[in-house]
Copies of this chain bind each other. A is one copy, B any other.
Amino acid sequence: MRKYIDLSRDITHDMPVHPYDDRVRLYQDKFLDKDKYVNYRLEIGMHSGTHIDTPMHLTDRETYINEIPIERFVGRGVLLDVRNEDPIKFKNEYADIVDDNAIVLLFTSHSDKYGTKEYYTEQPVIDNTLAEFFVRKNIKMLGMDLPSPDNYPFEIHKILFDNNILIIENLTNLSELMDVKDFEVLAPPLRIRAEAAMARVIAVIDI
């Protein structure tokens, strides 16, 4: 038996977005009574809601996210409890629990502020010591319940991207993984020819 935990945010009209980004529009344009079917249409930037950033977001690399194979978006998950830390630094104990090709999820609990202005203005950031540790360990992806691992000029993004580590932003429900020993992360993004894409991110637990 398997249990699935959905780590993804809803995509809705005027959902919270980063102050740099344009609003999300989601509207019904076909109606059952008039058109005989229902259709919604979505206008969205790639960094809205739960999504994956690739190096092309901030560097001159031109690999679009639809060109990256599925294998890069699935793997063994590791949750690090980093609540109440800012900046979020490396700790020696991580050396034993993070290994090559892991998908590391940082549980900050900052996602509790989702929907308030503070979600974007008062977020904790990742320290260089931790980003460099992830590079040494050659992790596959770094996910977090934050809108970003850092602020302008985005040094942490760049350390990760220079080492081809993908970044998952705006996760939720990470508290549900607190006492889970082994889980897998499935995070396939939409196959969009872009620098990033919205993704449905799921943790899978064998029970």
Of the listed residues A47, A59, A192, the one surrounded by the most CB atoms of chain B closer than 10 A to its CB is: A192
A97: Cβ under 8 A from any B Cβ? no
Inter-chain contacts of A192 with B (CB < 8 A): 10-12, 26, 40, 42
Which of B8, B40, B196 is the one whose CB lies under 8 Å from A194?
B40
The 8 A CB mask of A9-41 against B (1 = contact, 0 = none) is 111110000000110001001001000111111
In the assembled complex, A188 has its CB within 8 A of some CB on chain B: yes
When distances are taken between beta carbons in the complex, the residues of chain B under 8 Å from A103 are none
Is A46's CB under 8 angstroms from B40's CB?
yes
Asked if A188 and B186 make an inter-chain contact with CB atoms under 8 angstroms apart, the answer reads: yes
Chain B residues, CB < 8 A from A164: none
Q: Flag if A12 contacts B74 (CB, 8 Å).
A: no
Question: Are B38 and A41 interface neighbours, CB within 8 A?
Answer: no
Taken together as a complex, chains A and B put the C-alpha atoms of A153 and B37 apart, in Å, by 10
Out of B36, B42, B60, B191, which one reaches A8, CB within 8 Å?
B191
- The interface size bin for chain A is 35 or more
In contact, B194 and A190 (Cβ under 8 angstroms): no
- Cα A58 to Cα B38 in complex, Å, equals 6
Q: How long is the Cα–Cα vector from A81 to B147 in the complex, in angstroms? A: 45
The residue in chain B whose Cβ has the minimal distance to the Cβ of A46 is: B40
Return the contact of A41 from the options B11, B37, B43, B66 (Cβ within 8 A): B43
Separation of A9 and B192 alpha carbons in the complex (Å): 9
Does residue A57 face the partner (Cβ distance < 8 Å to B)? Answer: yes
Scan residues 156-207 of chain A and give those whose CB is less than 8 A from a CB of chain B.
Answer: 186, 188-196, 198-200, 202
The distance in angstroms between the C-alpha atoms of A130 and B138, with both chains bound, is: 49
The answer to whether A45 touches B37 (Cβ under 8 A) is no
Interchain nearest-CB distance for A166 vs B (Å): 15
The answer to whether A195 touches B38, judged by C-beta atoms less than 8 angstroms apart, is yes
A95 interface hit (Cβ, 8 Å): no
Q: 7 A-B residue contacts at CB 8 Å?
A: A4-B74, A13-B193, A42-B45, A42-B46, A190-B199, A190-B200, A200-B200
